[in-house]
Structures are given as C-alpha cells and as structure tokens.
A and B are shown apart, each in its own frame.
Chain A
Amino acid sequence: MGLNISLAPEVLFYIGSWPITNTFFWFFWVWLALLIGSFILRKNLKLVPGKVQNLIEMLISAAYDFTESIIGQGKKAKRIFPLVATQFFFVLTCNLLAYIPGQAAVTLNNGEKMVPLFRSIVSDYGLVFMMTMITVITIQVVAIIVSGPFSYLKKFLNFANPLKFFLGLMDLIGEIAKIVSLSFRLFGNIFAGEVLGAVMLFLAPFFVPLPFLFLGLLTAVVQAFVFAVLTLVFISMASEIDEGAESKAGA
C-alpha cells in the first residue's frame, strides 16, 4: 500500500459528463443534512426549549452576539450574519465530519484507479475559492453601496498624483491578496492536516497520529472560526470606509 496524496479532489464517478468528486459528494450530504436539520429545527422550535434546541440557540445567539460585537448592533449585523454564520457552521461541520473514524480506509474504484471515498470537504480548493469569492465580492459590494461607485473606483484608480496612483494600485493588489490569503489559509490548513494525518497513519499507525489528530481537531474549529471572522472583519472594515473618508474630508 503506497501513500497517494493528491492536491485535487479525486473523481468518484460521473453523472453524465459531470465529474462527481469525493469532496463534492460529501459537500452534497452535508448541505442536505444542514437543510433538513434547519427545517426540522424550524418545525420544532418551542418557547420552552429542549436540550437540542437549547444547544442550537446557544450557538446561534453566541455567534450573533459575536457578530454584533465586531460590526456593531442593528441592521448591519442582521444583514451580514447569515453569510458569516453559515460560513462558520458549514465549514465547521465539514471539518468535524473528517474526524469520524474509519473513513480513510474506504476506497472506491472509479474505473481508473482506487480513490478514497472520503476527503475532508474543505480540502477542495474549488469550494474554498468559491466561498472566498463570495466574501471578496460581498466586500466590494458593501464598499460600493457605502461609499458610492465613483469614490469606490477612485480608491483603486486615482490619477491625481503618482503617490495616490501607487497607493490605489496597492489597494487593488491588497484586494487580490485577500482572495489568495483567505482561501489558501483555510485550504492549506485543512489539506495539510489531511496529509499530515495520512502520513502519520502511514508511518506509525498506532498512538503516534493521536496528537496530530487533536491538533487537527483544533485546526478544524479554529480555521472555520478564522475564515468566518476574517470575512466579518473585512466586511465590517468595508462598511466603515466611508465614515473615515468623510471625516477626513470634513476636517
């Protein structure tokens, strides 16, 4: 048995011409579980909560309080909360799913070779890139709404003087860097955790992988949190740009 590490998610099978990768396969199940779970929650919501409802309420209210503490109370928090919270809960669910034991052993023959059936969902760069794009595009949209399209463009393309032009260029690069840093942080951490776990399991199957497993568990929670919080912070910053510029212009 050789160690087979692939940067890309493996294709399990094809539906028509659509390649279904193992990450997409599990993405679908997590997605479905969260959808059905929220429907069930909505139906069973009671004023006097049970244990499960209590736990969910605690999670959601803690997440909401945290959001408010960063972006401020009121409409802004209410608008941005769904995106940020979904990013957090979704990534967390995906990451924790990887710690159900025994999955690494299950493989599937896709016609060409044996591929693992399970792969940590977030270690699919396509998914992470997509979520990062949502974040970055949301940031731009918020900035445009808050400061208006012209001053938004002016931030990046300013021909008033060479210094400002250069700073605008830097801002542009900064926005692009956000995509890279945000996506590769999450993807890299989770993928690295996967690889590390696999390598350790390959080298010494007993006891040695345990500390790495715990570290990986920590990473799973922390990275989900970091991704969501960075999204929140970026959006919060974008929504406050205008106030800073106006106060400067007024002074």
Chain B
Amino acid sequence: MDRLIQALGLDVRIMIAQFINFSILVWVLWRFAYRPVLNMLEERQKKIEKGVADAQAAETRLQTTTEESKEIISQARKEAGIIIEEAKKKAEGRYQEIVDKAQVDIKKQIDKEKGAIAQEKDRLIADVKKEISSLLIISLEKFLQEKMDSEADKKIIEKIVKDLA
C-alpha cells in the first residue's frame, strides 16, 4: 500500500489543499458564474415573454381603439346630420315667420298710407270747393254789379252757391 501511494505520488497535504481549493472553486463558480447566469437567463426569458405579451396586448388595444374611433366618427356624423337637418328646419320656419311678419307689416303700412292719402284728398277737394266758390262769388259780383243792387244780389248769389255746394 505504501508503495502504491508512493508510486502514485499521493501526498495528503496536497490533496487537502486541492480539496479546499476545489471547494472554493465550486462555491465561487456557483456564486459568481452559475447562479447569476441562470438568473439572468430566467430574467431575460421573463422579459421576452412580457415583451411579446405587451406587443399582443398593444395590438389588440390598437384594434379595439380603431374600431371604437370608427364607431364614434360614424355616430358623430349621424348626429351632425341630424343637427344640420334640425337647424335647416328651424331656419326655414324662422324665415317663413319673418317673411309673414314683413308682409303683414307692409300691408298695415300700405293701409295706413292709403287712409292718409284719402283724407288728404277729401281735404283738398273741400279746399278746392271753397276756393272755387269764393272765385265764383268774386266773378259773379263783377259780372252782376252794374244791373242789380248789391244787397239783393248778394242774397241770391249766396243761395245759389249754397245750392251748388
């Protein structure tokens, strides 16, 4: 046995040193190489999974939002159409109203003017009659002055004028 140990060059001290060194190596490699690398791989895998999931979620969200926005736009269009229609109707109604009112006003105005004109006309006629009667009196006086005395004459003429009027 001793010879075998000698032949193989076994030295307990060196073996112990190697054992300690190897143990340190195992620990250090685990602490500084295997564990960080494995953790890193796991973390990366998680991140990639999350990224893919996020991308999918974003895509679906984009789709739904696109549909929603389309719906909203069509709704808005419809509503806008309705509003315009209503506005048109209202405007037409108001226009009609204004036109009607204007017509009524004009008619009133015309009637008023007509009344005024008729009054004016009556007055004019009366004025003209008065003027004419006085003119007639003057001319008849001049015409009859020489033949009749003025008193009787005047009475007759007045009477005639009165009848005339």
A residues apposed to B, CB below 8 Å = 6-9, 18-19, 21, 24, 27-28, 31, 34-35, 37-39, 41-42, 45, 47, 56-57, 60-61, 64, 81-83, 85-86, 89-90, 124-127, 129-131, 133-134
CB neighbours of B28 from chain A (8 A)? 34-35, 38-39
Known: A45-B37, A131-B22. A125 touches B9 (CB 8 A): yes
Indicate which residue in B6, B32, B41, B47 contacts A8 across the interface (CB closer than 8 Å).
B6
Contact flag A28-B21 (CB < 8 Å), given A7-B8, A47-B40: yes
B34 beta carbon closer than 8 Å to chain A: yes
Answer whether residue B108 sits at the interface, using C-beta atoms and an 8 A cutoff: no
Given contacts A7-B9, A41-B37, whether A82 and B18 have CB atoms under 8 Å apart is no
Give the distance in Å from the alpha carbon of A7 to the alpha carbon of B3 in the complex. Answer: 12
Which residues, 1 to 19 on B, are CB-close (under 8 Å) to A? 6-11, 13-15, 17-19
B43 contacts the other chain (CB 8 A):
yes
Contact partners of B6 in chain A: CB under 8 A: 8
Partner of A130, one of B7, B9, B22, B27: B22
Known: A31-B21, A47-B40. A38 touches B10 (CB 8 A): no
Q: Are A61 and B19 in contact (CB under 8 A)?
A: no
Contact yes or no, A34 B25, CB < 8 A: yes
Which B residues are within 8 Å of any A CB, using their own CB? Answer: 6-11, 13-15, 17-19, 21-22, 24-30, 32-34, 36-38, 40-41, 43-44, 47
Residue from A18, A27, A56, A82 within 8 A of B30 (CB atoms): A82
Asked whether B38 lies within 8 Å of A61 as measured between CB atoms, the reply is: yes
| A83 CB contacts on chain B under 8 angstroms | 26
B24 cross-chain contacts in A, Cβ below 8 A: 31, 35
Decide: A127 and B30 in contact? CB cutoff 8 A.
no
Across-interface contacts of A64 in B (CB, < 8 A): 34, 38
Q: Is the CB of B38 within 8 A of A38?
A: no
A8 in contact with B9 (CB, 8 Å): yes
| Known contacts A24-B14, A38-B29, A56-B33, A124 near B21 by CB under 8 Å | no
In the assembly, what is the distance between CA of A27 and CA of B22, in Å?
10
A57-B29 in contact (CB<8A): no
